[in-house]
Amino acid sequence: MRTIRLFSILDVLRGRKRPVSAQVLADSLGVSVRTIYRDIATLQSMGAPVRGEGGVGYQIEAGFFLPPLHFEQDELDALLLGIRMVTARGDDTLGAAAARVLSKIETVLGDTETSLNQPLLAVGAGPRQAKSSGLTDLKSATQRRLKTKVIYKDDRGQLSERVVRPLGLTAFEAVWVLTAWCETREAFRNFRLDRIASFEITDQRFKREPGKEFNDYLRSL
C-alpha cells in the first residue's frame, strides 16, 4: 500500500510545474501531512529527484525525467482517445507521430493492460477531407510565432490576402481551423484549412500581446 502511495506522489508531482504543498498531497491521497513528510523523506533517500520542504512545497527537480509508472483506466482511455482523434483528423506527419506514441505506450504497458486492443471509446467516422493540407507547417508557424501571409477563399469563392499571427489550430468534424490575429482586419479570424489557397510563413516573429492571444480568443466565445 505504501509503495503505491509513493508512486502516486511522484505522479502528482510530475504533472505540476509549481511546488505542491504537503497538505495538497495529503488531501489528494487521503493521508495525514505527517505521513507525506515521511513518504517524501523516503523518496529522497531512494534517490528520487524531489526537492522542497514542508511549509513550502515539493516538486520534481528540473532536468530529470521519470518514466511512466502506471495509468489509471480512465487516464488510459483519455490518452488513447486523443491519439485516435489525431490519427483520424491529422495529416500524415501527425498521424505518424500518433502511431509512434501508441507504440511507446504499448512498450511501457506490456501485457498488463487490455484497453489497447479492446477500446471502449472510439472516434466517429464522420465526413472529412482526404488530407489536412498545410497542417504541419501551420502548426510549426504557430509554435514558433511566425507571421504568415495567407491567401484565403471565402464561402463565395472570393480571394483575399491577409497577414496573420497564427495562434491555434482546432479539429472539427470535417476540417481543421486556424485561429489567428489578422493584422489586415485588426481582429481575430478563423481560417478553414481547406479554403487556404496558399500561404507563406515569414521569418518575422510576433511577440505576446495582451488581448491578441489564443486564450483571449477562447475567453471571448
Over residues 91-112, mean pLDDT: 74
Better pLDDT: 215 or 120: 215
- At 40-63, the pLDDT tens digits run 988 888 888 888 866 778 988 766
The CATH number of the domain covering residues in 2-60: 1.10.10.10
Higher pLDDT, 149 or 99: 149
**Beta strand segments in the chain, E:** 50-53, 57-60, 146-153, 159-171, 176-182, 187-192, 196-205
Site of grid cell 506522489: 9
The domain made up of 131-220 has a fold known as SH3 type barrels. (2.30.30)
Q: Tell me the whole-structure pTM to 2 decimals.
A: 0.59
Return the percentage of the chain with pLDDT > 70, whole number.
81
- What's residue 70's pLDDT? 62
Give me the chain's average pLDDT, please.
Answer: 82
Task: Tell me the mean pLDDT in the region 176-194.
Answer: 94
C-alpha to C-alpha distance for 121 and 86, rounded to whole angstroms: 14
Domain boundaries, the chain: 2-60, 73-117, 131-220
